[in-house]
């Protein structure tokens, strides 16, 4: 008999990604946020409620570890099938992934999970031995992993949570993972010199970079309970957009008149004062990460889109280590690319992410 069970009434359901304690409904904020369940029965449907102004969410899902579905979610509340006609006696592992990042330019872009429709029983999901958190920008958000190489449209269709290096690294290590990322943002400022586009400013909250009253109502601006989920390793992949800002015009806030620009010297080198501000931002973020994750290894990786700020990053890590005595912080250079493995929007393609995941998974395996 097919029944409909609210999410809040399924204790065996495992929630993935930063979110609130509310399960009526479960709100998904971040890339790869979702749920996982082990279930018998012949069919399974999920009841979603989808809102957005400009950027419609996409989702992917796996059955027994295999990626079998991906689609756009339109506005409204409705049922989506995940499988049907399978052997009812066998237990299936099903995981639902939000493909799209939290959208800082669309304060109404959310996926809410209300219930599951099924004809089976739920079983506990086995805990992974390793937990990873990935903090980054568009590369960590999986931008450019769908679409032809010539595509330049900035749309949700070209994001993927299941092709990026975070997913691939976690899969290689059989780890549970979370993603905290935003396209175009950096450590000190965004690609266009916007000082509000700094990932560290929002790390202590659940999802405070989402604007507007809806995020406040949903609890996204509330402090994140770090004690509820502690990673064994935090992987930071930031600095690419900070480097881009040196080649962009001055940013001006039309509302407040605030101005900001990262400068280059006449010979093309970086202005030392601005590089110093970037190094300070890296050091402050390392301090924040340590305060929030006292026992985690912190790995800063960089290089998938150039190595322009590799030296300042390494200098900031060395200065932080010398100042604090914290030896669980390290740096890993990721492989670069050529035209053969570029995806859409001039971003790393699938092969590029696979190479990065191989480097990272090998390093983390040795580290842990």
pLDDT digits (tens, 9 = 90+) for 17-49: 999 999 999 999 999 999 999 999 999 999 999
How much of the chain, in percent, has pLDDT values that exceed 90?
Answer: 97
> 220 and 265 in one domain?
yes
> 173 and 293 in one domain?
yes
Q: How far is CA 243 from each of CA 38, 198, 249, 275, 332, rounded to the nearest angstrom?
A: 44, 13, 13, 10, 18
Instruction: Count structural domains, the chain.
Output: 2
Closest CA to 170 of 142, 134, 197: 134
The predicted model gives 229-257 an average pLDDT of: 97
Question: What per-residue confidence (pLDDT) applies to 343?
Answer: 92
Per-residue pLDDT at 116 exceeds 90 = yes
> 139 and 96 in one domain?
no
> 317 and 195 in one domain?
yes
> 337 and 252 in one domain?
yes
Contact 196, 241 (CB under 8 A): no
> 138 and 104 in one domain?
no
> 299 and 187 in one domain?
yes
Contacts of 355 (CB under 8 A, 6+ apart): 334, 335, 341
The predicted model gives 337-353 an average pLDDT of: 87
Beta bridge partners of 159: 143
Neighbours of 53 (CB within 10 A): 13
> 350 and 211 in one domain?
yes
> 172 and 50 in one domain?
no
Pick 339 or 240 by higher pLDDT: 240
> 201 and 226 in one domain?
yes
> 324 and 222 in one domain?
yes
Based on the number of CB atoms within 10 Å of its own CB, is 188 exposed (0-12), middle (13-18) or buried (19 or more)? buried
The predicted model gives 132-156 an average pLDDT of: 96
174-21-111 Cα angle (round to 5): 75
Based on the number of CB atoms within 10 Å of its own CB, is 151 exposed (0-12), middle (13-18) or buried (19 or more)? middle
Contacts of 34 (CB under 8 A, 6+ apart): 15, 16, 17, 28, 59, 95, 96, 97, 98, 113
**Mean pLDDT, the chain, whole residue set:** 97
Closest CA to 39 of 123, 125, 99: 123
- Containing 281, the helix (H) or strand (E) segment is helix 272-292
Contact 231, 128 (CB under 8 A): no
Contacts of 300 (CB under 8 A, 6+ apart): 236, 237, 238, 282, 286, 313, 317, 329, 330, 331, 332
pLDDT tens, residue by residue, 46-96: 999 999 999 999 999 999 999 999 999 999 999 999 999 999 999 999 999
Beta bridge partners of 51: 110
Domain boundary among 70, 88, 123: 123
Residue 217: CATH number of its domain: 3.40.50.1110
Closest CA to 309 of 354, 355, 276, 266: 276
> 238 and 170 in one domain?
yes
DSSP secondary structure string, 115-176?
EEEESS-EEPPPPPS-EEEEEESTTTTTBTSSS-TT-----GGGB-SSSSHHHHHHHHHT-E
Structural domain span for residue 286: 131-367
- Separation between Cα atoms, residue 107 and residue 221, nearest integer Å: 12
Residue 333: helix, strand or coil by DSSP? strand
Question: What per-residue confidence (pLDDT) applies to 128?
Answer: 97
Closest CA to 194 of 146, 252, 237: 252
Buried b (16+ CB within 10 A) or exposed e, 168-185: bbbebbebbbbbbbbbbb
Phi-psi category of 38—alpha, beta or left, where left has phi over 0 and alpha has psi -120 to 50?
beta
Residue 32: helix, strand or coil by DSSP? coil
Residue 201: helix, strand or coil by DSSP? helix
Closest CA to 136 of 228, 241, 59: 241
Question: What per-residue confidence (pLDDT) applies to 338?
Answer: 73
Residue 76: CATH number of its domain: 2.60.120.260
Domain boundary among 123, 149, 167: 123
pLDDT tens, residue by residue, 259-287: 999 999 999 999 999 999 999 999 999 99
Question: What per-residue confidence (pLDDT) applies to 336?
Answer: 86
Domain boundary among 88, 123, 158: 123
């Amino acid at each position: 008999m097919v029944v409909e069970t609210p999410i809040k009434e399924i204790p065996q359901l495992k929630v993935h990604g930063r979110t609130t304690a509310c399960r009526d409904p479960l709100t998904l904020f971040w890339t790869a946020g979702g749920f996982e369940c082990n279930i018998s029965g012949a069919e399974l449907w999920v009841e979603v409620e989808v809102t957005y102004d400009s950027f419609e969410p996409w989702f992917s899902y796996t059955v027994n570890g295999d990626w079998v579905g991906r689609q756009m979610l339109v506005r409204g509340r409705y049922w989506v099938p995940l499988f049907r006609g399978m052997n009812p006696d066998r237990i299936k592992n099903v995981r639902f992934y939000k493909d799209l990042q939290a959208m800082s330019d669309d304060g109404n872009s959310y996926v809410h999970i209300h219930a599951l429709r099924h004809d089976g029983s739920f079983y506990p999901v086995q805990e992974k031995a390793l937990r990873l958190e990935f903090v980054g920008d568009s590369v960590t958000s999986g931008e450019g992993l769908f679409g032809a190489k010539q595509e330049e449209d900035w749309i949700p269709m070209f994001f993927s949570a299941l092709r990026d290096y975070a997913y691939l690294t976690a899969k290689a290590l059989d780890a549970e993972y979370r993603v905290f990322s935003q396209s175009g943002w950096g450590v000190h400022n965004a690609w266009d010199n916007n000082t509000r586009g700094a990932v560290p400013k929002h790390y202590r909250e659940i999802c405070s970079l989402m604007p507007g009253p809806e995020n406040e109502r949903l609890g996204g601006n509330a402090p994140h309970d770090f004690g509820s989920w502690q990673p064994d390793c935090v992987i930071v992949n930031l600095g690419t957009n900070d480097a881009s800002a040196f080649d962009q015009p001055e940013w001006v806030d039309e509302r407040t008149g605030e101005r900001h620009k990262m400068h280059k010297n006449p010979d093309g080198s970086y202005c030392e004062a601005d590089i110093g501000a970037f190094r300070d931002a890296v050091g402050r973020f390392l301090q924040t990460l340590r305060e929030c994750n006292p026992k985690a290894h912190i790995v800063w990786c960089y290089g998938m889109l150039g190595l322009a700020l590799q030296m300042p990053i390494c200098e900031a890590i060395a200065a932080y280590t010398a100042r604090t005595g914290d030896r669980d912080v390290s740096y890993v250079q990721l492989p670069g690319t050529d035209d053969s493995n570029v995806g859409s929007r001039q971003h790393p393609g699938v092969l590029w992410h696979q190479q990065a995941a191989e480097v990272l998974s090998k390093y983390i395996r040795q580290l842990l």
